[in-house]
Amino acid sequence: MLLRLYSALWPLLTPLIKRYLKKRARQAPAYLAHWDERFGRSLPQPRGQQIWLHAVSVGETRAALPLVKALRARYPQASLLITQMTPTGRAIAQELYPDAQVHYLPYDNLRWMRRFVAAAQPACLLLMETEIWPAMIHACRDAGVPVLLVNARLSEKSAAGYRRITRLVRPALQRLNAVAAQSPADAARLAALGTPAPQVCGSTKYDFTPPADKLAQGEAFRAAIGQRPVWVCASTRDGEEALILDAWRAAGPQPALLVLVPRHPERFAEVAQLAADRGFAVQRRSDQRPVAAETQVWVGDSMGELFAYYAAADVAFVGGSLLDFGAQNLIEPASVGVPVLLGPSTYNFAEASALALQAGAAQQVADAPQLVASALQLLADTAARQRMREAGLAFTRAHQGASERIATLVAAVLDGG
């Protein structure tokens, strides 16, 4: 009854959803593309033994890459259907998985989900990280499609939200065939919500191999920048850039180049303007010109080049951590040997942050002035950067293997393997 009531709300909310998408499209026109997919009117095709993987946006889509590689080694004839919720996630999926069907996930109406599952005829559904959609899970299980929650993480903040809708979420969680949690803390929180026997498999993010072409591009960036020290602030969120720019200006003129790479492409122009308004000499990556000697702030307004920016950096700050966003992926800069700075908010990567700090691969700061002070201190200390570089490489190597463990779990569900 509760599931039917929940599903009935989606058509009633459709006008509001359409208004929201049109509002987002003012800054990111891609939100208007593939419109019918979001409302269950355009459906995927069946393609033999098809593994369906749902990864909501960019981070989850990238994290799935080593897992997909491990699954393809076991099931070389299987096809891949990958669903998203955001245009940036969809674009990254098309880049990383060129032979897959890439599709928006319909909103979680039971009727729409049943049509989607019937059309795709997947062999199984893998939900990446924290994608708990009750109607989707019920539609799959009613159709005999196994559902696994993999690379699963659940912060205490998210768990508190789910506890408010336990009567809706618990039946969905109890219908999962298997759960592969990133950490013991994630497993405990999932179990408390009703998930049956979650297994701790680690995070696939440690298994991601930095793309050789992006590392080469990073070397080209560095050559274009010249001999100056480079501080990259990556995946920054709304409000963080202003704090960083104000603290950077307060520190006085610096020989280092500040590189700002906003998390969301619709904010590229805004961030460039923030820097210009504060009197900095600004360039944008999209200008396609070498970085001028007088340029103080370079805005990384490009998609799919995050590893290139990290490869060009002497020190990196991982955004989403200075304000209360829970942080973005700190494993990526550590994996290319870049010293990592983190703000106080790291609940989305709580275990990875704690392990990186313990290993000496990262430092944590309380606010923007301390962030700038720590960055300048590291930029001036070659030996400290080298110690953090070695610690970062060792930290990422030590925690690899989750993708193979999850692939083994998937095989156990699919064919008893």
- Give the residue-averaged pLDDT of 28-53: 94
The pLDDT assigned to 336 comes to 96
Q: What percent of the chain shows pLDDT beyond 70?
A: 100
Backbone phi, psi, residue 298, to 5°: -110, 120
Q: Find out whether 402 and 204 touch, Cβ atoms under 8 Å.
A: yes
Instruction: Give the pLDDT confidence of 225-256 residue by residue, as tens digits.
Output: 999 999 999 999 999 999 999 999 999 999 99
Q: What percent of the chain shows pLDDT beyond 90?
A: 91
The pLDDT assigned to 50 comes to 97
The pLDDT assigned to 3 comes to 85
List, by residue number, the catalytic residues.
Answer: 60
pLDDT, averaged across the chain: 95
- Give the residue-averaged pLDDT of 145-149: 97
The pLDDT assigned to 8 comes to 85
- Give the residue-averaged pLDDT of 386-391: 98
Instruction: Give the pLDDT confidence of 250-262 residue by residue, as tens digits.
Output: 999 999 999 999 9
Residue 30 has pLDDT above 70, yes or no: yes
The pLDDT assigned to 2 comes to 83
d(CA 248, CA 16) in angstroms, rounded, equals 41
The pLDDT assigned to 31 comes to 93
Instruction: Give the pLDDT confidence of 86-116 residue by residue, as tens digits.
Output: 999 999 999 999 999 999 999 999 999 999 9
Q: How confident is the model at residue 220 (pLDDT cuts 50, 70, 90)?
A: very high
Q: Find out whether 132 and 172 touch, Cβ atoms under 8 Å.
A: yes
d(CA 353, CA 286) in angstroms, rounded, equals 32
- Give the residue-averaged pLDDT of 295-314: 96
Q: Find out whether 195 and 215 touch, Cβ atoms under 8 Å.
A: no
Residue 417 has pLDDT above 60, yes or no: no
